[in-house]
Amino acid sequence: MAYRTPDGPGDTTGPDDAASRIAAWQRQAGRHGLPWQHTRDPYRIWLSEIMLQQTQAATVVPYYERFLGLFPSVVDLADAPQDAVLHAWAGLGYYARARNLHRCAQTVRDQHGGRFPATAAELAQLPGIGPSTAAAVAAFAYGERAPILDGNVRRVLARYFAIEGDPTAARIAQQLWGHAHALIDAAPADLDMAAYTQGQMDLGATVCTRTRPDCARCPLAPDCQARLQKRQDELPTPRARRAQPLRHCWMLIAECEGRVLLERRPDAGIWGGLWTLPQFEDTAALQAACAALSATETAQTLAAIDHVFTHFRLRIQPCWLQLSGAAPVPSRADQAWVPIETLDAHGMPAPVARLLAGLYDGGLALR
């Protein structure tokens, strides 16, 4: 059975058993040992889907297991302080996900009686849940015939249907969504949605990879347009790469009476809601902050560290200042003197946590 592509003139044919082939392949050759598989609990499924956004499964596994140990239910997560959630998340990056995770849990608790909605349309109304994540939760937890379109699936469909153009661009994404819906519409009524949904993810992660796709193992190979046209390396069309600008900042490690001065970042922006070291754009601002602390000592310059974000690199120049006498009262409400032995209890950006761990793990390394 063939169907007309939803994106323009002409026909691109796809057999009506493509979805069934993916499901059968997943049951036989897909991934089965991930800790969020083999459950219909929407909380566990939702948690894994949020963590897996822009993060590889191998990285997610220990965070996922630790999260469930700390917050075994959505109500436990909703009731937890935001600091505790951010601390458990620290290191996964893209911290807006953690804040939305907390907000979503509170919405489920307060507006849905602690139970996740049972349809993709309702799930997509919750904070931080987009249409693809909503569809994945609905498919895995409730068996809904809802298509997904995460990064791996975009790549699989772009190759299978030979779709040119940046798959993240709105026009191309719309075409891919149309194909995703059409594949499910053409599938048999008894399609195993959990296996099909997981199979698409597994194909993109382990077979239809960005480079050197293993077409010999792919259940879609016989009618994959990219393979037939020998364009696997061309599709999907790569995004135009922009040079990553290098930005600089200075961070102050002010220590006094066995405590370090931390400040909480605003919720909006990079590292939102996390505790970090006071940060400055130039040395003049750093020196002014040292003067405000009534420091008579000279700050010691430490080795710079680089941290890579999606769109730029940040070079952090840390400076360590040990104050004598009593710790001055913080000049801002978002600052606090934190005992060194409790630093690891605060949710921090990964580079700041590594910097402080290098200084204070097992005692003061600078002494």
Are 51 and 225 within 8 A, CB to CB? no
Alpha-carbon span 178 to 114, nearest angstrom: 33
Helix (H/G/I), strand (E/B), else coil: 300:
strand
How many CB atoms lie under 10 A from the CB of residue 291?
A: 9
What tokens appear for 327 in the block? Answer: 């710790």
Alpha-carbon span 346 to 351, nearest angstrom: 14
Examine the residue annotation and report whether 49 is marked as an active-site residue of this protein: yes
Length of the chain: 367
Are 186 and 18 within 8 A, CB to CB? yes
What tokens appear for 183 in the block? Answer: 């594949």
Spot the catalytic one: 49, 234, 263, 297: 49
CA–centroid distance for 189 within its chain: 33
Helix (H/G/I), strand (E/B), else coil: 204:
helix
Alpha-carbon span 28 to 31, nearest angstrom: 9
Tell me the residue type at 214: D
The residues that are catalytic are 49
